[in-house]
Structure 1
Amino acid sequence: MWVEEAIYGEVKGGHDLRAASGNRQFALDIASRLDLPDTAPPGVSWSPYVSGFSLGDRYVIARTFIDTSAPRSGMVLSHALIMPLTELIEFQNLNSLFGRLVTSIDQVITPVGFSLEKDELLPESSIDLIGAANALTGRGSGPVVRLGTEGFELLAASIWASLWPEARANFGFRLSFGPADIVENAVPTLVCTPVSLAARWSRFRVLNGEDQVPASTSAEFLAGIADPKPILEFGQEIGADIQHLSQLPFLEQAHKTLSRTVGLDDFLTAIRLVEKLSPDSMKGCEKKKVIAVGLTAHVSSARPGQILSMRNLRLSGFPVIPELWQEVESWLTARHFDQGDDELMGQMIASATNRDAAVESWRVAVGQGIAAAARVDAQYFPRALWRWIRVRPELLDAIFVLLPTERSVELLVASSTPEKLSSSLGTALLQQLLARSWLAVHGAVLSALDCPTEAVRRQIKIDVSVADKTGIEFALRFASPAQVLECAVQLEDSRLIDLAADSVISKPEIFAGSQCSEVAEQKIWDAAIRRNGNLWRAPSSPFSVRDKVLEGLIGGGKIHIPLLQSLARTPLADLSDFARREKVWMKLEASLQREYLNATSVGWLRRVTEMGAPFAPDAVLKLAILRHAELDVTLLDAASSIASRVQIVEALEDFGEQRFLLWFEAILSQNTALPSSDVERLGQLVQRRGWQRVVDEMLARYLGHRTDLKPALRICLSMLGVFTRWMLNLSAPTPAEKWESFVQLAAELYPSGPDHDELWSRAGGTNSDLPKSGTGRSIWLSVIGQMRNGRGPLPARLLLQMKQDYPTNAQLLFIADDSDISGIR
């Protein structure tokens, strides 16, 4: 190694370069650093002293003396050796260089430079080496101070020998009279100071020359007791450039921490040290990844305080490790958020929303973790959330910043809302909730502040979406079914109506006293019936309540028409016992009118069969009954009496003969003898209606051996011919009626008159006695009248001839046997 030389001293009254063997400009540049650092205090002995420092690519070692020959006091003379830094740091022993420096002012030489071979022998250790090692690796800043200049050269050489090349490049040493002269950018590592000036260094690391035991492994390295190679290799693995002794304790601590079985705190400590030692993320990537993976693996078992301590973990010196922050997020998602952790969680929330309190990666991870925990369908987070809000209301803004706005999260938070909240906290909460449109939680908070009626009243003012009743449900979460009903009647909100209907369904007795005088009550009853048809019975007197509603309808009052639609599907649709039913038909629209008419029709029919007609149907109802299928079903019901069924027809004036005839035939087809009283009732109906075809059918059935119909036929005698009544012995005809029957039969058998087929002459009469004009019947009437008075043939002879002509005519045979006609007794 080639070593240049330079001499410094008094030049024109000042301190400057006198001569140099090499680069003169460099030698000029360092002239000030080879002067005394400050004016020497009076009476202080310091000369000579050695110094060493690096500048650029060179290292300078010098010995400085007081120049007693100078024109003024306080001037010095220095002999400096200047050499390449990269070559010098490979030298372990500085003594060969110290030996080339002049030892007195009288030895001043002309600088020429020289070549120096590396001396592989280690220098003798200074007795202060352990003290210096302890001081250099201990806590503190600024240079380590060695009291006294004697032996300083040996101490510098001893420390140099223990240093690694990079550290040697930054190792500096010199004389100092006090902290005030430590002004250069590169603060010297080691200074010596006169013993008398020790008081000036009270705040600095002053080495203890009596130290015999290294205070740390780092101190052992500097003292030459331990091999620094493992630590230095670790430094290389992490990409650390250990150029300063102040870095050695951190490197040692990081190495020691990672060399044992470590936990999360150890990894955090090591990572912070590694980042400080190796801030370049491109260096030591593999080792840094291993460390980061170790930290990530411990996150799942971390305590809240440990996660909180990671908030300033910048990791700028590490490769990107998203897995670490994903684990932090997962850690929060899986938390049960125990109450004992509330204080730390509060700090975490505050830090997550404060850019100045935590690094962005941590804030994002915590924010996403809180959001994920809020989405989990469990009560751990919502319950903790409300504890945090109550204990630390100042965190309210931060909490809501982190909470996701999803509906599912809102419902979880609402469901966990405490039963009671202070008014001040409640007010602040309501503002936050309105800002994010969390109306479900808004309702829950109101329920914790006010009575149910007031809570829901306040909720309705801001919760205007009729499609969503969740907020109102939460506002009423502590209300009894009766209170819900009361609120609905008072406020008449459609959502309250639905909730009140649900309350009626769960507890029908709360509606027992309702009279439905309010439209809201009508709406509630309607909604309840639509959900459960049996709730038409919810009022204690449902028919009475229905009647009041109908009276309101008739009187033009405000009526909830859908209630009438619901009632139309219940027994209340039968208006049989509502006296003013005819007025109701006029108020109902067609389809609804039809439903009530149908129900009333069925009800009226049922009552008739059970107890007789309860009332005379009005015209509209009669028409409905006539059209209803139940009418025919009832009329054909064998379980009902004929009298009751006849009573039904009696009430329906428009019940047609043909329809009755079909029913009558169906009844007769059952081949069951009808009670006499029922048959009489039936005959009375037929007689009143003048239904001749029915009479004819009865007569035909009677002749067909349905003798049970005789009472009806007797009632309908006026609708039967005389001969029929006479022949069937339904009533005894008078002689005049008998002769009339004879006339009628003769006219039917001999329509042209008595001279037909010479009947009259065959009976012994004279045709010339017969009337010359008139119809056949009129002639028969005339001649039979004469016969009755004794003129003409005898009736018996005429009947005999007729029987010969019509031997099978039953009527003729019947008349011929009657003594009042034939005269045969």
Structure 2
Amino acid sequence: MTKKNQIIVHQAFYGEVNRRSHGCVFSTVEDAELNTFLTGFTDRPSAIPAGIVMQPYYSAIAHGKYYVITLTFPDHTAQRAGMVFTHVLIIAIDDIEYVNNLDYLFSHFCKTIPENKTSIQELIIPISALEAKETLNTFPEYVMQGARELANGKLPMLFCGESELFIRLITSVWAGIPYSFRAKMSFTAGFSTTNIDTSKTVIHFQKNLEDSLRNSEFVSDMDTNLVEVNSTVEKCILTPLADNQFEVFIKDLNVDLNDWSILQLCAKAYEGYQNYLQLNNDALKQLIRQLAKISPSRNNGKSIKNKVISEIKQRIDSSKERNLKSLKNLPLDAFDSGEDVVADSVNSFAETELTKLNGFNDELMSEVIILSHNDTQANWWHTAIKSALGNSIKAGHVTGIQNIWKLLVKSEDSLSVVLSFFSKERKYEGLLIKHIPKGIPQQIAGSFAKEIQKREWILLHSYLIRTYLTSKEALKQQLSLEKKLSLDSFEGSKLLVKDVTDKDLLSLAMETSEKFFIAEYAVRSVESPTLLNDLDIRNQIWLSIWTMALIETDNLEHGILNLSEKVEQVLNSIPESMEVPDEIIRQIANSEYADISELKNRADLWKYFQPNIRELFLEATANALVKTISSKGLAGISIEPELTNYISSDKYMTSLLNTYRSDMNTVLGVYEYVANLKDSLLAEYIKYYPNNLNDVQSARLGNLVLAKRFHLSARQIFEKAKHNNSFKVALTKCQSIADIGFWDRLAWGGLIGQTVSADSVYSELLRIAVKLYDKGPEDNDIWKRAGGEISKLHNHKTREENWRIAISLLRNGGGGKEISVKSLIKEMIEDHPNNTELKEIKKYFK
């Protein structure tokens, strides 16, 4: 700002013109637009109430490039009643900053209406004459009250009193307010509350109009007691600053001066800024709000704002400012990079607090985190707090997670909010489990457990519920949840089951029939066999427990008292619709208890067994029956079809005959008591039987073979008897079905007690002859070569008939002088030297 030595003040007179209207009488400035404005402004503002005599009054207003101040008198010399005369001082709007002593300017007003209304000229006033008088520290109470009204923006302010006191008020205020506000200052006279000009800053009512203001607030000149200036606003308005720093402050911030109420805020902000380094934290934050209010654009007042923002940042960084909540609504968008700067400090502070090893302020952090989450209108502060918590969670440092646990258990609200910052990833569940604290409040633990169900943090859920439930109830609830969520790992239940007693675990299994409880009890029984001592075969749960224990131990006798009794109960319960697990049946089938030969309802069981299992029971039972047959016999005992069919199978009988290859009594017993056994297998057994038979055994064998019509076995007995005399008795019993042919009878007549008849011998010779010489006796001249006469033969239809006649001739001595049976056989042997039949039959004709 360029300093001036002087300013020009133009003058004008406005009053009656041409004896009929109000207008410009004379002016030292030629400006038609200004003249038009002043014509209206200098006229009386309203009618004078009846009985009231108008007193001279002052007015002022900015218009365009001018600021005008007027003094108006009632003109009793005018032709028209009620006319006024006004003396106007006109100043360039930019020069009002030099006018610090308004009294000096007022001194140039005429004291009365001049006689010569055209003798005025522009005033040239040295700046030195306009400088402020000595600064005062005391003012009349009404002045102080007026200053406060202006600062509060209660406009227009109504003043009632004498003119000289009104001027005292105006000049006092004018001296101290910033230049930028002087241009906003306007005042005039008022004569009625019904037509107050609300566009003015101050309205002056003359003293005798006080009654008309009884229903309005106004400043009265009655209280003239001197009062000391104390408040910031009063100082800024009433005490002019020598270096105009308040004005500089307002200009730097580019304060919008349309509202007088902002003056008070500017004054407070200026006072705070003057000592911002010494302000306490709350006052510093208040200064930030004030600056944002009076200068909302971040492009204004950067130097001032940066200093204040840097100070709040420094205090946050050094932990001198710990009230994070109080920073939440700071209007930092009015500061260049203010949000980023403070947000960074808030974020850093919060992260540092969350990772404190000692002295962690859970009360503070819980409150700000809840606010950051719940506030509907989020800003930089909310983002900073959320980021701090999120980063601490992601970092996963021991202290950080331990402090976060303190927040989780702080309150229901804190739990819900803090948990919402956790990703659903399982690694965060692991972090929380790893650092879970002792002594979590039951109510919090319950709420926490409920909250994490939807996250499927099942293992953490188990840790939590065991803090407020009995081990039995906790396990029951945990398993129910894991099944509901279709989780097959049961990791939480596996953790909790370790705390449950054997008794409670069995109780849970019986109450719920859950496979998990059954399996866990069975697993425990592997190490503690006595857990199976109370096995109740009639209870399905016990059967399931036993089944799983068998899978683990593969030992039917493990932990079971009175096993044979238990097995019998199990097998007897099967036809009674008891659902016996396959594993139990399998284990029994592979044990000594597979022999069910003594079981009363054995015949009812076979249809309930699976084929492979039934095979094991049949084998064991069959073997037992065979032993019984061998030792006692089975007189009076029936064998059901399933067992009969099994024993009579090739596989079983082959094995049995091999097992008892030297025990004829057992084999005979089996064949005697079991139907449908094969002749071929017994024949094979007889063939390779290594021992001799006593007469009883031999007779028993023969009778058996004859009774069952076992032709193959009878034949084998015959073959065996050829070389083993102990089989002769058997042969005598069954030789009738042994199919002993001609040659055998021929060769073994003595053995079988029978001789071969001549008819049989000649019949056999006939058969051989027909077979070897199918063209008849003339074939190959066999008859002739044997010495027979061809003429003795007859030509019949078939060659067999020819041979029958030829053999008949030989038997009766006919056929020729030289031929005989011996000569015929001899010639045949010549033709067929390897034919055993010829060699055998030759022996008969020795």
TM-score, length basis structure 2: 0.53
How far is 1:427 from its partner?
Answer: 7.5
Equivalences for residues 7-46 of structure 1 within 5 A: 23=38, 25-27=40-42
One of 105, 111, 130 as aligned partner of 1:100:
105
Look up the equivalent residue of 2:690 and give its one-letter code.
Answer: S
- Give deviations 1:590-635, integer Å, cap 9, x for gaps: 7x5324214435767999999999999853255467779x869x94
**Cα distance, 1:497 vs structure 2:** 1.9
Q: Does structure 1 retain, via aligned residues, the 8 Å contact 2:11–2:90? A: yes
Alignment of 1:525-674 (within 5 A): 540-541=559-560, 547-557=568-578, 559=579, 563-564=581-582, 566-567=583-584, 572=589, 576-578=594-596, 583=601, 586=604, 593-601=610-618, 619-621=641-643, 623=645, 635=655, 654=676, 656=678
CA contact (8 A) 2:100 2:174 kept: yes
- Cα contact 1:679–1:712 (8 A) shared by 2: yes
User: How far apart in 1 are the matches of 2:251 and 2:173?
Assistant: 25
Could you tell me how far 1:93 is from its partner in structure 2?
1.2
**Distance across 2 between alignment mates of 1:567 and 1:487:** 22
Matching residue of 2:295: 278
> Matched residue of 1:312: which SS?
coil
Separation in 1, partners of 2:649, 2:85: 137
Q: Is the 8 A contact 1:275 1:318 kept in 2?
A: yes
Matching residue of 2:135: 128
How far did 1:94 drift? Answer: 0.4
Match of 2:755 among 703, 722, 739: 739
| Residue 451 of structure 1, CA deviation | 1.9
Counterparts of residues 764-775 of structure 1 (less than 5 Å) = none
Aligned residue number for residue 543 of structure 2: 522
CA contact (8 A) 2:474 2:496 kept: yes
Instruction: State the partner residue of 1:46.
Output: none
The structure 2 residue matched to 1:449, chosen from 461, 468, 472, is: 468
* Superposition map of 1:44-193 within 5 A: 87-94=92-99, 98-102=103-107, 115=122, 124=131, 128=135, 159=176, 163=178, 166-169=180-183
Flag the 1:436–1:739 CA change in 2: closer, same or farther, 3 A: closer
Separation (CA, whole Å) in 2 of partners of 1:144 and 1:653: 129
Q: What SS does structure 1 have at the residue aligned with 2:368?
A: helix
Cα 1:207–1:301 change in 2 (3 A) is: closer
Does structure 1 retain, via aligned residues, the 8 Å contact 2:462–2:495? yes
Partner in structure 2 of residue 790 of structure 1: none
Give me the whole-angstrom Cα distance separating, in 2, the residues matched to 1:88 and 1:104.
Answer: 19
SS at match of 1:100: helix
- Conserved? CA contact 1:295–1:324, under 8 Å: no
Residue correspondence of structure 1 range 282-297 to structure 2 within 5 A: none
Matched-pair contact (CA < 8 Å) for 1:500–1:524: yes
1:519 deviation in Å? 1.9
The one-letter code matched in structure 2 to 1:594 is: P
2:71 and 2:88 in contact (8 A); partners too: no
CA contact (8 A) 1:239 1:278 kept: no
One of 392, 413, 423 as aligned partner of 2:411:
392
Query: Is the Cα–Cα contact under 8 Å of residues 11 and 123 in structure 2 kept in the other structure?
Result: no
* Shift in CA distance, 350/716, structure 1 to aligned 2, threshold 3 Å: same
Shift of 1:343: 1.1
1:743/1:353 CA distance change after superposition, 3 Å = same
Deviation at 1:330, TM superposition (A): 12
Structure 1 distance, partners of 2:725, 2:384, is 102
Query: Secondary structure of 1:739's partner?
Result: coil
2:266 to 247, 251, 257: 247
CA shift for structure 1 position 473: 3.2
Residue type of the alignment partner of 1:275 = A
Give the deviation of 1:804 after TM superposition. Answer: 8.0
How far does the alpha carbon of each residue in 1:421-453 deviate from its partner, in whole angstroms, 9 at most, with x for none? 666667877998999999998876654333233
Counterpart position of 2:364: 344
In structure 2, give the amino acid aligned to 1:128: T
Measured against aligned partners, the alpha-carbon deviations of 1:234-263 in whole angstroms (never above 9, x if no partner) come to: 635999999737426647978998xx9xxx
Does the aligned pair in 1 maintain the 2:186–2:200 contact within 8 Å?
A: no
How far apart in 2 are the matches of 1:227 and 1:99? 23
| SS at structure 2 position matched to 1:541 | coil
How much has 1:394 moved relative to structure 2? 6.7
C-alpha displacement of 1:360: 3.9
Question: How many equivalent residue pairs?
Answer: 688
Q: What are the Cα deviations for residues 291-346 of structure 1, in whole angstroms up to 9, with x where unaligned?
A: 99999999999989565444324667589999999989999999967682421232
2:478 & 2:570 partners in 1: Cα distance? 31
Q: Secondary structure at the match of 2:371?
A: helix
Is 1:509–2:509 an aligned residue pair?
no
Code of the residue aligned with 2:360 in structure 1: it is G
Structure 1 residue 26: deviation in Å?
3.8
Q: Which runs of 5+ in 1 are unaligned?
A: 9-18, 33-48, 68-76, 133-139, 175-182, 210-218, 669-673, 763-775, 785-796
Among 498, 515, 523, the residue aligned to 2:516: 498
Distance 1:813 1:280, change over 3 A: same
When the two structures are superposed, what TM-score results if normalisation uses the length of structure 1? 0.54
Shift of 1:548: 3.8
Contact 1:446 1:455 in 2 (8 A): yes
Change (3 A) 1:739 1:431: closer
Q: Name the % identity.
A: 12
Match of 2:506 among 446, 466, 486: 486
Structure 1 residues 96 and 506, CA gap change in structure 2 (3 angstroms): same
Find the aligned partners of 1:393 and 1:301 in 2 and give their Cα distance. Answer: 31
Change (3 A) 1:418 1:26: same
| Counterpart in the other structure of 1:676 | 690
Larger mean CA deviation between 799-808 and 385-394 belongs to 799-808
Unaligned runs of 5+ in 2: 1-7, 16-24, 28-34, 48-56, 75-83, 140-146, 153-164, 189-197, 204-218, 770-776, 788-802, 812-819
Contact 2:354–2:404 under 8 Å retained in 1: no
1:191-247 deviation digits (Å, cap 9, x = unpaired): 9999973468777766599xxxxxxxxx9x944187986x66863599999973742
